Amino acid sequence: MKKLWSGRFEKDVDGAVNAFNSSIAFDSRLFREDIAGSIAHAAALGHCGIIGADEAEKIIGGLERILEDIENGAVTFSEDAEDIHMNIETLLTERLGETGKRLHTARSRNDQVALDFRLYCVKSCREIAELLLGFQRVLLKLAEPHLETIMPGYTHLQRAQPITLAHHLMAWCEMLSRDVTRFEDALRRMDEMPLGACALAGTTYPLDRRYAAEKLGFSDVTANSLDSVSDRDFALESLAALSIVMTHLSRMSEEIILWCSTEFGFAALDDAYSTGSSIMPQKKNPDVAELTRGKTGRVYGSLMSLLTVMKALPLAYNKDMQEDKEAVFDAFDTVKLCLGVFPPMVETLTFHPETMLNAASKGFLNATDAADYLVKKGMPFRDAYTAVGKLVAYCVKNKTTLERLDLNTLQEVSPFFDEGYYGAVDLKTCAAGRKTEGGPAPEAVIKHMEKIRKFIGERT
């Protein structure tokens, strides 16, 4: 097959080089974006009188038929045509003859690929954001019946203070809110159309770039032709946002794995989201959570790969940038895969409130509340802290808990203690008393849930 750019060359490209140079094996997935961009470009060419209106209509019709044929499986892409852009242009020329050759007027593959790839990232970022909102809905539903389910809150993986399961689940929800807004921020910066920048220096044709931008749904056009074809920030931002999503899913995975262990026993996985062992019949393994945790490294690798590709490239386009797509495609595919199975796994968890409460009853999680009790009686906090520390040491030595200490023992440490102490250090009281915005008290969590519902509602 004769290359479209073969006029300058006297020899055919070596077969190995042709295979090395070709990207059709992976960029074929951009066929919808490529055809959408070509349709908008053809419309702009006709609108501006660069080609005849009848030719623009023929090109648009031809592209629409090619799209239909590709979707119906009637097109086989050729490696000789290198990439999706050349494949579609070759098909169009075969079908329309001279008219098809006019499509590439006032356009380069450089601005064409920049457009296609940007359109793909825009579409995919929106899809991920929708999946994240769906996961938030799952967490809201899961949290509702657990506003008063006491569990330990941890620091350093050591039991620290009593919280509620709803409060913990809503912490996951808050991570997802930030993820959604990161994609929204990235989408705002992606909302510029690079088409019309051509190879690097724009065009001498009277092309109305804003006309094409409007056709494609962009609110603006890129401001500098050099930057337009060499920018891959939108891909890097997508990968960064995807990496942080995976960070959050990995942290959730770790907690689910711990919670479902015999040592914790806070929850149990549904059989549909577990696997067994080939040799140990008792096993119920958290493979979904473990695989999600493992795939996090894969997405991080995609980000590091593209950062490394871009770090020393002079303006404008360089062939190195062909390496951008596989990393981005794989990262989006991986995160979509995880968000397809992770939320239903979480939704079908069975929680064990009694085990959680029992765990919260050990480890002196109400120590801070005991100190706060003394402070409210008039003792300086540092003195109260020391007094309760002495009580904890006594409890450890005598194998008891703060709430079981008799009043005489308490008053030996401080005369501020009285009968009101026992209500103050009850675990439910400890959690319910933290009513400040963002705290674990049921009314505070309900307000947080309302905030998340509003957040989702504004985006649906």
Q: Return the active site residues.
A: 156, 277
Q: Name, in order, each residue with C-beta under 8 angstroms of 22's C-beta and a sequence gap of 6 or more.
A: 79, 82, 83
User: Nearest CA to 31 among 105, 103, 97, 117?
Assistant: 117
What is the spatial distance between Cα 383 and Cα 100, in angstroms, rounded to a whole number?
85
β-bridge partners, 389: none
Query: What angle is formed at CA 29 by the lines to CA 50 and CA 76, rounded to 5 degrees?
Result: 85
